[in-house]
Structure 1
Amino acid sequence: MSPIAGILFDKDGTLLDFVATWGPATAAVLEALGDGNRSSIADMAASAGFLPESGGFAEDSPIIAGATDEFAPAWAARLGLEYDASFAARVNALYRAHSLRSLVGYADVGPMLSVLASKGIAIGLATNDSERTARAHLSAMGVEASFSFIAGYDSGYGSKPGPGMVLAFAEHLGVAPAAIALVGDSAHDMEAARTAGAAAIGIARTEAASLALGTLPDAVVADLGGLNEWLQRRCSVSAGAAL
């Protein structure tokens, strides 16, 4: 069993509270795109599985784990506009501005990143958000400098569930994918890890995440403290195998 050289984190639902951050942001983005037209706003919300009354999301909402290209084309269509790079950029810019206002990071992120650094484990990010927004979020949380690798859906490696981001992180570190663990809260994350040959670690901070992960992960942790415990066990097993 290969020792872990790098941890590749998902962002939303893993490092920050997805509903608390993206619920208010989505409401604001749709309001801006719809320019006050209640019918258009309702249509866009329905197409993306956003629930305006609660500020939450349907289980199959493409916003939860998908890239902008997976939900924004339907918004453009409902507005009678062409979905092109300009529209995608506008959606990303609106999301970046509004999500920074509602950003809620998890309290265990900073301490865990320090633990990983002390162990000599490299840290990366793989998100289906845009790279620019991802960097803005990490900066707002005060942890961007801890990441040696940051990839969004638009960074040139493809989006999850494809393995491109995982393989790129492994290449960045000069290690085999088996030395990488991808930590995330969605089936997309687990599929990306497995396809690349990395360890698939599910983080189930919420009941919804637990249900979405199912039996796909190699291991499931409740928080980043649980990830540290998993790493310690993995290290013990790897050391034993080397004897």
Structure 2
Amino acid sequence: MSLRADAVLFDKDGTLFEFGATWNAWGHGALRHLSGDCDVALGALAAASRFDLARGEFLPDSPVVAGTNREAAECLAGALPHLVAEEVERYLTETGSEAPMVEAVPLMPLMAQLEALGLALGVMTNDAEIAARAHLRSAGIETAFRFIAGFDSGHGAKPDPAPLLAFADAMGLLPARVVMVGDSPHDLSAGRAAGMHTVAVLTGPIGASELAPLADVVLPDIGHLPAWLGAA
């Protein structure tokens, strides 16, 4: 069977896991905690992080959607004078690692199917690596991935293509034989810059119109990936 690629590199949040269903409730709780239950402080944090308090959700242009934990922490710390970015980052990582994750599709059978096709699998997220591993472990799929990297793993963060190229190098593959799958322009821009195929999915907060110019294809979710790769 001839496939479009030999490896697939996944983003995590909004790709393997539904973004809104996983992170909106957690985000509201985190902002409330950091505000000390002060409504004025909560409003300042929500404005800085682009969180819609009325709707209870991160807006598509929120720095939390595609940015690193460090960028999110710096954003929040800048909103209130008593917050220290390093302490906020530690809080976000620790509580985020324990957040209940909502799978975009049933992940264990999909990863088994992709592995059975002979594909090398990896994850590159702008979350912390420790949190990424905790989330993948909770879904029972950590061992399916031969490469797991966060923004703090030493390869850089998206949209820099460096961590994507590190995956290709670790797998011994040319970038042109790798597919980058993600839900944000950061994911897809990094994939394009690395010379990889780019697949957008709509399980994050960003719509198809913004993703399509950077993607070879826009899929509803990663469950459609095997057919696009040529497995059907």
Is 2:116 the partner of 1:114?
no
Counterparts of 1:16 and 1:207 in 2: how far apart (Å)? 12
Cα shift at 1:63: 0.9
Q: How does 1:150-161 map to 2 (within 5 A)?
A: 150-161=148-159
For residues 38-74 of structure 1, the C-alpha deviation after alignment (integer angstroms, 9 at most, x for no partner) is: 2111111111111122221222111111112222213
What RMSD in Å do the two structures reach over aligned CA positions?
2.1
TM-score, normalising length: structure 2 = 0.91
**Structure 2 gaps, min length 5:** none
Contact residue 63 and residue 71 of structure 2 kept, 8 A: yes
TM superposition shift of 1:2? 8.9
Q: Work out the CA distance in 1 between the residues paired with 2:3 and 2:202.
A: 24
After the TM superposition, which residues 193-208 of structure 1 pair with which residues of structure 2 at under 5 Å, given as runs?
A: 193-205=191-203, 208=206
Q: How many residues align?
A: 231
CA change 1:179–1:137 in 2 (3 A) is same
* 1:130 counterpart = 2:131: no
Hey, what's the Cα distance between the residues in 2 that align with 1:183 and 1:31?
32
The residue type equivalent to 2:144 in the other structure is S
Counterpart CA distance in 1 for 2:84 and 2:181 is: 32
Q: Which secondary structure state, in structure 1, belongs to the residue aligned with residue 155 of structure 2?
A: coil
Structure 2 residue aligned with 1:170, among 168, 171, 176?
168
- In structure 1, stretches of 5+ residues that fail to align are 236-243
Secondary structure, in 3 states, of the residue corresponding to 1:75?
Answer: helix
Give the number of the structure whose residues are more often helix, by fraction.
1
CA distance in 2, matches of 1:50, 1:2: 40
Which structure: larger Rg? 1
Alpha-carbon distance in 1 for matches of 2:15, 2:204: 10
Give the one of 185, 188, 192 matched to 2:186. Answer: 188
**Secondary structure of 2:214 counterpart:** coil
CA distance in 2, matches of 1:231, 1:177: 16
1-structure distance, mates of 2:221, 2:79: 39
Q: Is the 8 A contact 1:2 1:178 kept in 2?
A: no
**Partner AA of 1:11 in structure 2:** K
1:175-205 Cα deviation digits (max 9, x unpaired):
1111110011111111000111111111124
What aligned pairs does 1:95-106 form with structure 2 within 5 A after superposition?
95-97=96-98, 99-100=99-100, 103-106=101-104
Q: CA-to-partner distance for each residue in 1:108-148, whole Å, 9 max, x for gaps?
A: 32222111110111110011111111111111111111111
Structure 1 pair 71–225 and aligned structure 2 pair: CA distance change class (3 A): closer
Q: Deviations over 1:49-105 (max 9, x none)?
A: 1112222122211111111222221321233246454442222213223x23xx211
| 1:78 partner SS | coil
8 Å CA contact 2:180–2:191 kept in 1: the answer is yes
**Runs of 4+ displaced beyond 6 Å:** none
